[in-house]
Amino acid sequence: MNHKAKEAQVAKRKKIDQADPVYLDPERSPDERADDLLQRMTLEEKVHQMSSYAPWISKRSWEQIFLDKNGKFSVRQARQFIGRQGIGQLTCCLHNVKPRHAATISNALQRFFAEHTRLGIPPIIHDEALHGLTAFDSTSFPQSIALASTWDPALMEKISTAIGKETRTRGIHQVLSPTINLARDPRCGRTEETYGEDPYLASRMAVAFVRGVQSQGVAATLKHFVANFVGEGGRDSGEIHLSERYLRETCFAAFEAAVREAGALSVMTSYNSLHGAPCTSNRWLLVDVLRNEWGFKGFVVSDYCSVEQIHTGHRVAETSAEAGKQAAEAGLDVELPHIDSYKKMIPLAKKGEVSSEAIDTCVRNILRVKFMLGLFENAAGDPAVAGTVADCPEHRGLALEAAHKAIVLLKNEGNVLPLAKDIGSVAVIGPNANAVRLGGYSAAVVKVVTPLKGIRNRFPKRVEVGFAEGCAVQGDSKEGFDKAIKLASKSDVAVLVMGNASETEGENRDRSNLDLPGVQEELILEIAATGTPVIVVLVTGSAVTMDKWLDKVQALMTAWYPGEEGGHAIADVLLGRCDPGGRLPITFPKRMGQLPLYYSYKPDGRGHDYEDLRGEPALFPFGYGLSYTTFRYSNLRITPKSIAPGGRVCVSVDVRNNGDRKGDEVVQLYLSDLYGSVCRPNKELKGFSRVTLRPGQKKTVEFVLTEKELRFLDKHLEYVVEPGTFEVMVGGSSASGLRGKFDVR
């Protein structure tokens, strides 16, 4: 650029800066404000909006970076690290700070950006909130897989609203949640973070989560886009060899629903590549599908360091700067967790080697959301409220309700549960009985009720409750076996709390074996050999294989990672104070060799089973769960019996509680298209309703099937409703139910 051109550009910018700042007018639309602000920004300011600052990257504490020796926020120190150009996001900067103090620091930061950066653009402060904000004193709700087991989207929305309140009052504006990848191979360590294997169930839970969080002025971030957990062998982030049909029929469903129905404001890309292109620089995903097809209006963020991995991992960019260019031009708006490749991209952009239009589009997307969230008017936290809402009694009550509803009873031989009222002694045994197990991405919660503590709190005082750990979650030591066996031998019943922990599953903990780790199985067999009735409670985040010991125990339930009130919930279910109405959101295989295994497979005419597992391939099928009562389905009605392609079908069924206890049933509707122009799944979940029935009570449950439930992708990948016969199955799991048919003419 010559000298005269530079002078003209400077004069133009001065003129813009002196004009009325449209971007500061809250009466103007977010798009108008974003366009006005965008034209005032330098290239450096734009790229910094596309990036984040992570204090912990410098290996110094947050206080060391921003607070002076008297504990006061230091403008000088903040300017040293952030500079005058600002930054678009701040990464988990309030992670390890108490609620009231977090809000105070957040407010000081926002004042710094407003007063000491040229344009006063507020940063978005983000954190994780998979099942509660991952910050000190936040409420820890049951893990995601447990929340899916409730089959209760209304409860999910209440929980996510609570999460939103705890988040926003601290001054945090974005959560990197929910995780809505499908868990079709439970060897993936992050199965715990998902809403299970089914697109419809995951969609309903995702929509509920987004609506709740965003009702509090916090942007939800859908992750990981896309197909992060379905790599070969259950390995997280491996290359994905899935057809576009499979992606659209399964992996896209929850993302699309959360965008179209709930208006999700952010999406996070996944680490894996797809069809030869890293998802972080995959323009087909980020622009063609997400924005042009679904109408997404938010901003896209990278999974941590995945922009750099375009260069170092996938090796489709020779330099970090080139990786930044590829990501920006593909529609990746924000690089997380810190500024790296995008900063290195600036010299390329100055030489015109990076599309200026692409950069402007990314920045516009970011600014639009900041205006939509009202951050220019009020980005502050609320110290007075933050300290009272975090882990408040109301939210702890929600955590208990969710834990109650999430527990799945899988076996109850001889109705050993609920425990008899005259029971005199209980042996509580196992590595998860007196340990805090919350699952991945959990808050630092002080008041966690372990299963042992819950049993001691809830059981009558006359009941003798003994404890022996027995063994560790992993490892070969049997040093604790003798104590556990002696305790069980002299007790009326043994409650074995077994399962997994952060050392055996979770992120970066994919597994080749779903058996209980360590010597837990041997401990179960030893305790069972005493003759004392054995109840196994699984505290875990995924499916467990149990060929060696299932037939030796009288009862089995999975509590998943049940949150801070989980111990009380387990005790309440053992005593029969509440019904175990949870249902499985994933299929439990009998053996690992069956994986991946899910209910909605496409039949091929040659049989779906292995030679040595014919007839019943699943140990426990999707949607399965027992109750302390029994339910009878009757009077399935389908009206009308024939419709036009755009018509509606009403399906109703009567459900009666046949027992003498109040109980919860999850009524599930599955649909099968008997003949189609392309191969269709064996059956698909298309509706569900959780109902509570008193003894003898009957309720009619109704579902309406519309074009949305009947349509599918034809050979051209276009949605159609074809003439033909559909079979409806309504029941208590994916394995059985009442059946009927209707026709589309």
The set of catalytic residues is: 303
On the 0-12 / 13-18 / 19+ scale of CB atoms within 10 A, 39 is middle
Query: Which one, of 357, 352, 529, 497, lies nearest residue 429 by Cα?
Result: 497
Six token digits for residue 63? 């206080």
Closest by alpha carbon to 213, among 297, 338, 127, 304? Answer: 127
In the 8-state DSSP scheme, what is residue 250? I
Of 168, 156, 161, whose CA–CA distance to 127 is shortest? 168
Please list, in sequence order, all residues whose beta carbon lies within 8 angstroms of the beta carbon of residue 671, skipping any fewer than 6 positions away.
683, 684, 686, 705, 709, 710, 726, 727, 728, 729
CB 556 within 8 A of CB 411: yes
Strand spans (E) along 54-168? 89-91, 124-127
Rg (CA), the chain: 27
Which residues make Cβ contacts (< 8 Å) with residue 475, sequence separation at least 6? 518, 519
Residue 90, SS3 per DSSP: strand
Question: Please, which residues bridge with residue 668 across strands?
Answer: 688, 731
- Characterize the bridge pairing of strands 52-53 and 555-558: unpaired
User: Cβ of 592: how many Cβ atoms within 10 Å?
Assistant: 17
Distances (CA, A) of 477 to 244, 473, 481, 499, 519: 48, 10, 9, 16, 7
Q: Please name every residue paired with 536 in a beta bridge, in sequence order, or none if there are none.
A: 496, 556
Cβ-proximal residues to 677 (8 Å cutoff; 6+ apart), any chain: 714, 715, 722
**Is residue 142 within 8 Å of residue 562, measured between CB atoms?**
yes
- Per-residue 3-state assignment (H helix, E strand, C coil) for 362-377: HHHHHHHHHHHCCCCC
User: Of all helices (H) and strands (E), which one includes residue 283?
Assistant: helix 283-283
Do residues 406 and 149 touch, judged by C-beta distance below 8 A? yes
DSSP reduced 3-state for 43: helix
- Locate 181 and state its tokens: 């990848």
C-alpha distances out from residue 709 to 289, 334, 389, 743, Å:
21, 35, 40, 14
Per-residue tokens: 233:
């062998």
Number of other CB atoms surrounding residue 559 within 10 Å: 29
Residue 260 to residue 263: CA distance in whole angstroms:
6
**Biggest distance spanned by C-alpha atoms of the chain:** 95
Cβ–Cβ < 8 Å for 354, 325: yes
Here the tokens at position 680 are 């269709």
Cα torsion through 177, 178, 184, 185, rounded to 10: 30
